[in-house]
Structure 1
Amino acid sequence: MRVQPEEFRPAAGFPPATRDDWRRLAVGVLRGSGVEAGSPEEALASLSFTTYDGVTIAPLYDAADLPGDAGLPGFAPYVRGSRAAGAAPGGWDVRQRHAHPDPAATREAALADLENGVTSLWLVLGEDGLDPAALPQALDGVHLDLAPVVLDAGARTQEAADAYLRLAAGLGVAPAGGNLGADPLGLRARTGVRAPLTEPAALAALARRAAEFPGLRALTVDATPYHDAGGGDAEELGCSIATGVAYLRALTDAGLTIEEAFGQIEFRYAATADQFLTMAKFRAARRLWARVAEACGVPGHGGQVQHAVTSSAMMTARDPWVNMLRTTLACFGAGTGGAQAVTVQPFDARLGLPDAFARRVARNTHALLVEEAGVAHVLDPAGGSWYVERLTADLAEAAWQWFQDIERAGGAAAALDRLVPERLAATWARRSRDIAHRTYPITGVSEFPDPRERRLVRPPAPEPAGGGLPRVRYAGAYEDLRDRADRAAGAEARPAVFLATIGPVAAHTARASFAANLFQAGGLATVASGPGTDPAAIAEAFRRSGTSVACLCSSDKLYAEHAVPVAAALREAGAKSVWLAGKGRYDGVDAVLHAGCDALDVLHATFDDLGVAP
């Protein structure tokens, strides 16, 4: 029988490695790949990148990057979780959103969800969803003492809260937690409407009613409007903390104790497919709220209650099946980041009202992660990770600085007039540039689009009220072009670009694939000439294609010999514009396509040259 030694050191036989050793090796690798890196510091900088919040992501982390003791789960500063180990053995609260205006449809979907793994309901009421008066019909058969309900009624919050509490009282049960959904600043951010519940007395009255039931809260700080407007993670966090502080002031001004005020607020954040940033965001949010509680003199009440919802901005209407992957990563990041409740949006949410299959997939995403992958067995699995701990601290610092900017501007309400919209617009402009240049790729849309895709059809969802911050779609610019191409294809053949594939297959395949991928991202078809170098043959194939735009595809070596004569032949055959996949300047070529070029500019110019109607 073999006995394992008391101390096992897997790396004992290897010499110790330092960060300086890695830097020296990185310089050698970069130089070998053609990247200029004169010093280890330059090598490190070339491999780093900066988030939209100005946080630097380094290529390597070690123990020196740890920002300090993150504490223990359930204890201040709550970075490692607002609950102690063992408090939630079943994983996070599986919260499903329902916005169907038909109470019968809502009831059917809600009961199906609850019977198949969902543990709480999030109901959208008012103009964006269900009429509050229909709550008794929509919740018929739901055990309100077992299934928490979160209301989201906007300007009709008071009406919805009255209807919900009256329903529970009529059934003789106490609500099993949940939230009444008062969020006047969130409503203003979404719609520009100043809700009736802006007065401290009204908020406090609702909070006192909620306090009669253990686990029921009155206020939600919904930070998703800032994310949906194109903001960065730190900007979303800073806006949420400023809003939370505004609600603390309102509640305490109306007579609640500071402890009571903290106990009435829940936070809602967007979770994205960037799993590490999502983990860090939820951890940073808890650190920030704990800092507020410490400043208020009640550090033991700073355990933030968090509800994660998978990002609406990242969802696509095209190739919506990829949304399953995006939401799985987002759910993983939020759950392992410590969110108490997680909502996975159905993969067809961008298309309208989701069907039963999409809701089932959303439910099963939780089941896959919690029950099969076991990711909820350990609280804060990222704790101690040099990368995630550093990212958490840097994100919290950036968010705190933004929160202070908002406070200096007069607080969350005053900042919504100008400061917040301008800051978010600037961030969205940077992100938009990256999307246009495809350095922020969107799978199935800007990268690897399926030109033969049949768009799914769903019943239209209620149109959300506008008037506040904009609602952006990361894939929006490309999907608008796809729609434009589809409309043109409805009358005749799909608009197409001719690919002049010069030389043998091995010489042109890479750049032909690159060009096809770019043009198809706008919904355009591509027609290839086939291998060959004869300008006359390529020109004849171009005439048969029926298009007026061409793109040369080949190697640099073959371009040197054939690009100019082929471009001239295409011009004689009627080409209105000639692109070239690669780099270099050649007579007869209008512009080049290359990695990092502005794909949206290329597509708009091509649409104009093809005469595709807006």
Structure 2
Amino acid sequence: MTVPPDDGFSLAAEFPEPAHEQWQRLVAGVLHRSGQDVPGANAEDALGTDLEDGLRVRPLYTAHDTAPDPGLPGFAPFVRGGRPEGNTVGGWDVRQRHAAADADAVLSDLENGVTSLWLVIGAHGIPPASLGDVLARVHLDLAPVVLDAGADTDAAARALLRLYAERGVAEDAARGSLGADPLGFEARTGERGLAFGPVAALASLCAGEYPGLRALTVDALPYHEAGGSAAQELGCSLATGVAYLRELTGAGLSVEQAAAQLEFRYAATTDQFLTTAKLRAARRLWARVAEVCGAPGGQLQHAVTSPVMMSRRDPWVNMLRTAVATLAAGVGGADAVTVLPFDHALGRPDAFARRIARNTSTILVEESHLSRVIDPAGGSWYVERLTDELAHAGWEFFQRIEGLGGQAAALRTGWLGRSLSGTWAARAARLARRREPVTGVSEFPDLAERPVAREPAPPAPSGGLPRVRRDEAFEELRARSDGHLASTGARPRIFLAALGPPAAHTARLAFASNLFQAGGIEPVTEGAFEDSGATEVCLCSSDAVYEESAADAAGRLRAAGATHVFLAGRPGPRPPADTHVYAGCDAVSVLRATLDRMGVS
């Protein structure tokens, strides 16, 4: 390619150089026209978005938004990736999760793009005795295996090591992780059933004889699934990793050997930039821990698309959620990515769901060429700044845990559970008010949707920290509606009374219809109230029409038998209604009370 000489000609020469203050004044003007009088200097803040952990995202980032030097890919502090080449050599490790003893499913995944296996072993998954059958047709020198066995860790690990020996797999050819995670097991179950002595013995064995195997997993998913924020997830992973370093070095391993036995697991969510920043911040924080301990600072990362975000209603939307989360994990530099199938929340995934899950990574790597760029987010003022702020928030939470005596003490005193619960309570309030919308659940639900049926999956471990879902409050409401439909042949109904011309009522009619369907309540918009089969009604129109005719309409409807009158719009100087529904109202409370009045149990 011939590069033209630099003749000093600038395409922007005829335009004045824009200033940040000029943009702020323009923003202030737009806000003024929308009824908000905000001075220019504060206009930018008015457009900011609050995140958890005290973080706030601004609408504009410039070169003046400084962050520490992220270094180079593959070098400390590893913000830009754990390897110099990033994921440019073959993409990330596509790791499929299996919790059922299905050798055909395992083989199908490996033949169609999956590069490693994540096997759930024990009472909540594959029986340890079935491990050989599940892996009977797997080339163990080619496919890394990661175990997740809880209390059966030692038995499952020994069984896998026996398989390596029986199949003639060289010790230096074995790849993967034995998955021991005593603190993660305790967080899940509330039990201290996984003694560290056998875990340390496995770590010593791996360090001495199996250089490609790691013995321990630092799993942050229990804290994410209990409602924790990104910073809390980071802080818990650091505290757990430090606890394992202490135990392993106390058992005789060097700090370098101990650090090499750890793999870290994080959740990837639909908050694309926050997920990318979290993975980058995690590597930076662990590099700091390793620096203090005198160990190499790299962090092997396994990202899993978040179970918390997976909806049971309209589960097809989960394909889009996991695609965004996988993109975020890949951009964030994850070494391995597990895409949970879209029907994960419904039971045992079928072949189609597993195919879509593995193809999500394949499309991003092979068709979107995401892995051809080392650290795609590097240099983004927004991502670099968010990474730095999240790293500070995560380090602060880690220090609080260490101040309590470490991760085990934080778990056993209940402090950690209370902290995660408080975070989830705040988020649940946003979900209830639909400030955090869930498509197909709290927004745009489809009451005519045919349910997706799956075989029951093995029960998940329980007894420790709770498992939460974004859809849980609305799922409870929809389940009540389903029960009413099954017992009576009809769903609970509400009549939507449109007042005035379409231009006046269309917007609020659509809003009310969407709102009530989120609770499993069927809106009726045609015909007369007396013929609708409803006992409650919602008036829908503009403020001007309400002033003119809402009082008369409400009176006529009450006379016709309406027991409760809603009005779509914020409370104000309007004719009296029993309840107002509006954007930002507590939709869950309104819908729950409505079902109670309707006798829907």
TM-score by length of 2: 0.97
Tell me, in whole angstroms, the C-alpha distance in 1 between the residues paired with 2:306 and 2:443: 20
Please list, as runs of the form range in 1=range in 2, the aligned pairs for 1:56-455 lying within 5 A after superposition: 56-85=56-85, 88-100=88-100, 103=101, 106-174=102-170, 176-198=174-196, 201-211=197-207, 212-298=209-295, 301-417=296-412, 418-455=414-451
Alpha carbons of structure 1 residues 28 and 424: separation in structure 2 relative to 1, 3 Å: same
CA shift, 1:8, in A, is 7.9
Please list, as runs of the form range in 1=range in 2, the aligned pairs for 1:450-599 lying within 5 A after superposition: 450-490=446-486, 491-529=488-526, 541-583=528-570, 584-599=572-587
Q: Which secondary structure state, in structure 1, belongs to the residue aligned with residue 491 of structure 2?
A: coil
* Residue in 2 that maps onto 1:22: 23
* Residue in 2 that maps onto 1:54: 54
Q: Does the CA-based 8 Å contact 1:23-1:43 persist in structure 2? A: yes
Question: Higher mean Cα deviation, 425-434 or 581-590?
Answer: 581-590
Question: Higher mean Cα deviation, 490-499 or 384-393?
Answer: 490-499
Alpha carbons of structure 1 residues 374 and 219: separation in structure 2 relative to 1, 3 Å: same
C-alpha RMSD over aligned residues:
1.5
CA shift, 1:202, in A, is 2.8
Tell me, in whole angstroms, the C-alpha distance in 2 between the residues paired with 1:5 and 1:435: 57
Question: Which residue identity is paired with 2:565?
Answer: V
CA shift, 1:410, in A, is 0.3
Structure 1: 5+ residue runs without aligned partners? 531-540
Q: Does the CA-based 8 Å contact 1:501-1:529 persist in structure 2? A: no
Question: Which residue identity is paired with 1:342?
Answer: V
Tell me, in whole angstroms, the C-alpha distance in 2 between the residues paired with 1:11 and 1:79: 35
Question: Which residue identity is paired with 1:415?
Answer: A
Question: Higher mean Cα deviation, 518-527 or 5-14?
Answer: 5-14
Alpha carbons of structure 1 residues 8 and 209: separation in structure 2 relative to 1, 3 Å: farther
CA shift, 1:40, in A, is 2.8
Question: Which residue identity is paired with 2:569?
Answer: G
Q: Does the CA-based 8 Å contact 2:546-2:575 persist in structure 1? A: no
CA shift, 1:504, in A, is 1.6
Q: Does the CA-based 8 Å contact 2:164-2:174 persist in structure 1? A: no
Alpha carbons of structure 1 residues 24 and 260: separation in structure 2 relative to 1, 3 Å: same
The answer to whether the aligner puts 1:45 opposite 2:29 as a matched pair is no
Q: Which secondary structure state, in structure 1, belongs to the residue aligned with residue 64 of structure 2?
A: helix
Alignment partner of 1:600 out of 588, 593, 600: 588
Q: Which secondary structure state, in structure 1, belongs to the residue aligned with residue 357 of structure 2?
A: helix
Question: Which residue identity is paired with 2:37?
Answer: E
Aligned length: 594
Identity of aligned residues (%): 60
Structure 2: 5+ residue runs without aligned partners? none
Alpha carbons of structure 1 residues 452 and 18: separation in structure 2 relative to 1, 3 Å: same
CA shift, 1:66, in A, is 2.5
CA shift, 1:215, in A, is 1.8
CA shift, 1:10, in A, is 5.3
Question: Which residue identity is paired with 1:311?
Answer: S
CA shift, 1:16, in A, is 2.1
Q: Does the CA-based 8 Å contact 2:86-2:333 persist in structure 1? A: no
Alpha carbons of structure 1 residues 548 and 24: separation in structure 2 relative to 1, 3 Å: same
Tell me, in whole angstroms, the C-alpha distance in 2 between the residues paired with 1:295 and 1:360: 44
Q: Which secondary structure state, in structure 2, belongs to the residue aligned with residue 65 of structure 1?
A: coil
CA shift, 1:506, in A, is 1.7
Tell me, in whole angstroms, the C-alpha distance in 2 between the residues paired with 1:9 and 1:343: 47
Q: Which secondary structure state, in structure 1, belongs to the residue aligned with residue 263 of structure 2?
A: strand
TM-superposition CA deviations, 1:225-253 (whole Å, max 9, x none): 11101110010000000000000000011
* Residue in 2 that maps onto 1:538: none
Tell me, in whole angstroms, the C-alpha distance in 2 between the residues paired with 1:517 and 1:53: 31
Question: Higher mean Cα deviation, 87-96 or 141-150?
Answer: 87-96
Q: Does the CA-based 8 Å contact 1:98-1:121 persist in structure 2? A: yes
Tell me, in whole angstroms, the C-alpha distance in 1 between the residues paired with 2:242 and 2:341: 32
TM-superposition CA deviations, 1:197-237 (whole Å, max 9, x none): 33xx4332111222212221000000001110111001000
Q: Does the CA-based 8 Å contact 1:576-1:609 persist in structure 2? A: no
Q: Does the CA-based 8 Å contact 1:149-1:179 persist in structure 2? A: yes
Q: Which secondary structure state, in structure 2, belongs to the residue aligned with residue 459 of structure 1?
A: coil
